[in-house]
Structure 1
Amino acid sequence: MKNILYLLIYILVAILIPQHTEAQDNNKFRQIYLQAEEEYQVGRLEQALKLLQTNINGFDGNLKQNAYRLIALCYLAQDDASQSENYARLLLQENPYYTSIKDPMRFEDMISRLKTGRSATVTTASSQAESINEAPVPVTIITAEMIEMLGYNKNLNQILAAYIPGVSEVASTNLDNIAMHGAYTASQENILIMENGHRLNTRSTNLGRTDYAINTQKIDHIEVLRGPASSLYGNVALTAVVNIITKDGTSVNGLSAQYGYGSLHTHKADLLAGTHFMNCDVFAWASLYSSAGEDRYIPASQDQSLDIYRVAGPPSIYGGYAHINKYTEKPSYDVGVNIKLNDFNLMFSRKSGKKTQQYSVLAHAYDYDAYRWFDGQKPGYCIEENHANLTYNKTFGKFSLNASVYGDWYDINDYGVASDAMIYPIFNDDGTAMKDENGNDIYGEYIGAYQIYDWKEMTLGASLRGDYNYTLGSMKGNILAGMQFEYFSLYDTYGLLGEKFDSIQIFLSERNNTIISGRENNISFFLQDKHYFTPRLILNAGIRFDSKYRTNGARINALSPRLAFIYTPSRELSMKLSYSRSFVDAPYFYRLNTDNTYRGSIDLKPEYLNAIQFNVLGEIFPINLTYDVNLFYNRFSDIMYSVPDAGIEDAKYRNSGKLETIGAECALHYNSKRLKANLTASHTRLLNAKDYPFRGHHIYAVPDFINNIQLMYDVLAKTNHHLWLTANAKINSKFYVQVQNPTLDDMECSGNTIFDLGARYQMGKHMTLQINCENVFDKTTYMSGATLIVMPWYNPGRTVLASIKYNL
Structure 2
Amino acid sequence: MRSTQVLKSILLVSTSLLTFSAAVSAQETAENDVKPAGGAIVLEQIVVTASSVATNVKDAPASISVVGQEQLQQKGAPDITEALRTVPGLNVGFGSDGTRGISMRGMGSGYTLILIDGKRVGSGLTTMRHYNGDLDWVPVDAIDRIEVVRGPMSTLYGSDALGGVVNIITKKSGDKWTGSLTTEWIQPESKATGVTKKVGAYVSGPIVPEELTFTAFGNISRKDASDPSRHNDIQTPGGSDDYDVAGRLTWTPTDNQMFELEVGTGKEKYKPSLADGAIDTSKTSIRRTTASLRHVGEWDFGTSTITASLEDADNHHNTTNRAGDITGDTTINVRSYTLDGKVSMPLDFLFEQNLTLGAEYRHEAMKDPENLGKPNSVTGTTGSTETSIWTAAIFAEDQIKLTDDLKLTAGLRIDRHEKFGTHASPRLYLNYDVNDNLTLKAGWAQAFKAPNMRQLNPNWVQTSRGRGCGAVGGPCEMVGNPDLKPETSNSFELGGIYVQDNWEAGLTYFYNEIDDKITSARKASLIQPDGTKYVQQINIDRARTQGFEGNLSVNPHPDWTWTNSFTYLIESRNLETGMPLSADPKYSINTELTWQVREDFSVTGGLAFYGKQVDYVSTPETLTAQNVSAYNIANVSFKYDPTENFTFRAGVNNIFDKQPKSESNFVENGRSYFISLTSKF
TM-score (norm 2): 0.81
| One-letter amino acid of the structure 2 residue matched with residue 468 of structure 1 | M
The 3 A distance-change label for structure 1 pair 628 and 348 is farther
Distance in 1 between residues matched to 2:386 and 2:276, nearest whole Å: 31
How far apart are 1:448 and its partner, in Å?
A: 5.5
CA deviation profile, 1:465-518 (whole Å, cap 9, x unmatched): 112111124x2101111111112221363479xxxxxxxxx9xxxxx9998302
1:426-437 mapped onto 2 (5 Å cutoff): none
How far apart are 1:113 and its partner, in Å?
A: 7.6
How far apart are 1:604 and its partner, in Å?
A: 2.1
The 3 A distance-change label for structure 1 pair 99 and 452 is farther
Distance in 1 between residues matched to 2:125 and 2:186, nearest whole Å: 36
How far apart are 1:353 and its partner, in Å?
A: 2.4
Q: Which residue of 2 aligns with 1:370?
A: 278
Which segment drifts farther, 234-243 or 408-417?
Answer: 408-417
User: Do 1:168 and 1:706's aligned partners in 2 also have CA atoms closer than 8 Å?
Assistant: no
1:259-278 mapped onto 2 (5 Å cutoff): 259-263=183-187, 264-276=194-206, 277-278=209-210
Q: Which residue of 1 aligns with 2:262?
A: 347
The 3 A distance-change label for structure 1 pair 743 and 398 is closer
Q: Which residue of 2 aligns with 1:767?
A: 646
| One-letter amino acid of the structure 2 residue matched with residue 338 of structure 1 | R
How far apart are 1:112 and its partner, in Å?
A: 5.7
How far apart are 1:452 and its partner, in Å?
A: 6.2
Distance in 2 between residues matched to 1:663 and 1:222, nearest whole Å: 24
Report SS of the residue matched to 1:591.
Answer: coil
User: Do 2:107 and 2:545's aligned partners in 1 also have CA atoms closer than 8 Å?
Assistant: no
The 3 A distance-change label for structure 1 pair 243 and 710 is same
Answering whether residue 383 of structure 2 is matched by residue 544 of structure 1, we say: no
Q: Which residue of 2 aligns with 1:334?
A: 244
Distance in 1 between residues matched to 2:679 and 2:230, nearest whole Å: 43
The 3 A distance-change label for structure 1 pair 133 and 584 is same
Answering whether residue 211 of structure 2 is matched by residue 279 of structure 1, we say: yes
User: Do 1:782 and 1:792's aligned partners in 2 also have CA atoms closer than 8 Å?
Assistant: no
Answering whether residue 380 of structure 2 is matched by residue 472 of structure 1, we say: no
The 3 A distance-change label for structure 1 pair 603 and 454 is farther
Q: List runs of 5+ in structure 1 lacking aligned partners.
A: 1-97, 101-108, 303-320, 359-365, 419-423, 425-445, 497-505, 507-511, 784-789
- What is the percentage of aligned positions where both structures have the same residue? 20
Distance in 2 between residues matched to 1:684 and 1:713, nearest whole Å: 32
CA deviation profile, 1:138-190 (whole Å, cap 9, x unmatched): 111112222233x2334221122222334343225384213221121xxx421
Distance in 2 between residues matched to 1:172 and 1:450, nearest whole Å: 24
Q: Which residue of 1 aligns with 2:173?
A: 249
Answering whether residue 615 of structure 2 is matched by residue 752 of structure 1, we say: no
The 3 A distance-change label for structure 1 pair 470 and 596 is same
Distance in 1 between residues matched to 2:640 and 2:259, nearest whole Å: 39
Distance in 2 between residues matched to 1:662 and 1:699, nearest whole Å: 12
User: Do 2:218 and 2:243's aligned partners in 1 also have CA atoms closer than 8 Å?
Assistant: yes
Q: Which residue of 1 aligns with 2:385?
A: 516
Report SS of the residue matched to 1:589.
Answer: coil
Report SS of the residue matched to 2:58.
Answer: helix
Identify which of 567, 577, 584 aligns with 1:682: 567
| One-letter amino acid of the structure 2 residue matched with residue 711 of structure 1 | L
Identify which of 666, 669, 672 aligns with 1:793: 666
Identify which of 381, 396, 404 aligns with 2:307: 404
Distance in 1 between residues matched to 2:489 and 2:483, nearest whole Å: 19
The 3 A distance-change label for structure 1 pair 650 and 392 is same
CA deviation profile, 1:345-371 (whole Å, cap 9, x unmatched): 22222233245556xxxxxxx648634
| One-letter amino acid of the structure 2 residue matched with residue 189 of structure 1 | G
Identify which of 498, 506, 517 aligns with 1:628: 506
The 3 A distance-change label for structure 1 pair 406 and 369 is farther
The 3 A distance-change label for structure 1 pair 230 and 447 is closer
The 3 A distance-change label for structure 1 pair 416 and 759 is farther
The 3 A distance-change label for structure 1 pair 269 and 191 is same
Distance in 2 between residues matched to 1:113 and 1:265, nearest whole Å: 32
The 3 A distance-change label for structure 1 pair 778 and 452 is farther
The 3 A distance-change label for structure 1 pair 166 and 175 is closer
Report SS of the residue matched to 2:448.
Answer: strand
Identify which of 345, 351, 366 aligns with 1:490: 366
Q: Which residue of 1 aligns with 2:462?
A: 595
How far apart are 1:205 and its partner, in Å?
A: 6.4
Identify which of 369, 391, 404 aligns with 1:535: 404
The 3 A distance-change label for structure 1 pair 526 and 368 is farther
Answering whether residue 515 of structure 2 is matched by residue 637 of structure 1, we say: yes
Q: Which residue of 2 aligns with 1:669?
A: 553
Report SS of the residue matched to 2:669.
Answer: coil
Report SS of the residue matched to 1:145.
Answer: helix
Distance in 2 between residues matched to 1:649 and 1:745, nearest whole Å: 18
Distance in 2 between residues matched to 1:357 and 1:681, nearest whole Å: 33
The 3 A distance-change label for structure 1 pair 324 and 745 is closer
| One-letter amino acid of the structure 1 residue matched with residue 564 of structure 2 | L
The structure whose RCO (Cα within 8 Å, separation 6+) is larger is: 2
How far apart are 1:673 and its partner, in Å?
A: 4.0
Answering whether residue 499 of structure 2 is matched by residue 619 of structure 1, we say: yes
Identify which of 555, 560, 572 aligns with 2:437: 572
Distance in 2 between residues matched to 1:172 and 1:383, nearest whole Å: 20
The 3 A distance-change label for structure 1 pair 673 and 145 is farther
| One-letter amino acid of the structure 2 residue matched with residue 335 of structure 1 | V
Answering whether residue 57 of structure 2 is matched by residue 135 of structure 1, we say: no
How far apart are 1:544 and its partner, in Å?
A: 0.5
Identify which of 176, 179, 195 aligns with 2:103: 179
Distance in 2 between residues matched to 1:616 and 1:266, nearest whole Å: 40
CA deviation profile, 1:190-214 (whole Å, cap 9, x unmatched): 1111111111134846999345433
Q: List runs of 5+ in structure 2 lacking aligned partners.
A: 1-28, 188-193, 253-257, 376-380, 465-477, 527-531
How far apart are 1:602 and its partner, in Å?
A: 2.4
User: Do 2:296 and 2:305's aligned partners in 1 also have CA atoms closer than 8 Å?
Assistant: yes
How far apart are 1:733 and its partner, in Å?
A: 1.0
Distance in 2 between residues matched to 1:705 and 1:586, nearest whole Å: 30
| One-letter amino acid of the structure 1 residue matched with residue 116 of structure 2 | E
Q: Which residue of 1 aligns with 2:675?
A: 802
| One-letter amino acid of the structure 2 residue matched with residue 579 of structure 1 | W
Identify which of 116, 119, 122 aligns with 1:195: 116
Report SS of the residue matched to 2:454.
Answer: helix
Answering whether residue 50 of structure 2 is matched by residue 125 of structure 1, we say: yes
More strand by share: 2
The 3 A distance-change label for structure 1 pair 346 and 762 is same
More helix by share: 1
CA deviation profile, 1:261-309 (whole Å, cap 9, x unmatched): 232442111111112432333322111111213212179xx7xxxxxxx
| One-letter amino acid of the structure 2 residue matched with residue 124 of structure 1 | T
Q: Which residue of 2 aligns with 1:706?
A: 588
Distance in 2 between residues matched to 1:704 and 1:336, nearest whole Å: 40
How far apart are 1:752 and its partner, in Å?
A: 0.4
User: Do 1:609 and 1:635's aligned partners in 2 also have CA atoms closer than 8 Å?
Assistant: yes
CA RMSD of aligned residues (A): 3.3
1:96-135 mapped onto 2 (5 Å cutoff): 117-135=42-60
| One-letter amino acid of the structure 2 residue matched with residue 143 of structure 1 | G
How far apart are 1:728 and its partner, in Å?
A: 2.1
User: Do 1:495 and 1:513's aligned partners in 2 also have CA atoms closer than 8 Å?
Assistant: no
How far apart are 1:659 and its partner, in Å?
A: 1.0
Q: Which residue of 2 aligns with 1:456?
A: 333
1:179-328 mapped onto 2 (5 Å cutoff): 179-184=103-108, 188-202=109-123, 204=125, 209-250=133-174, 253-263=177-187, 264-276=194-206, 277-297=209-229, 321-322=233-234, 324-328=236-240
The 3 A distance-change label for structure 1 pair 715 and 253 is farther
CA deviation profile, 1:91-143 (whole Å, cap 9, x unmatched): xxxxxxx999xxxxxxxx9x668798444321111121112222111111112
TM-score (norm 1): 0.69
Q: Which residue of 1 aligns with 2:616?
A: 738
Q: Which residue of 1 aligns with 2:536?
A: 652
| One-letter amino acid of the structure 2 residue matched with residue 192 of structure 1 | L
Larger radius of gyration: 1
| One-letter amino acid of the structure 2 residue matched with residue 272 of structure 1 | Y
Answering whether residue 87 of structure 2 is matched by residue 163 of structure 1, we say: yes
Distance in 2 between residues matched to 1:513 and 1:528, nearest whole Å: 44
The 3 A distance-change label for structure 1 pair 213 and 394 is closer
1:717-736 mapped onto 2 (5 Å cutoff): 717=599, 722-736=600-614
Distance in 2 between residues matched to 1:174 and 1:514, nearest whole Å: 33
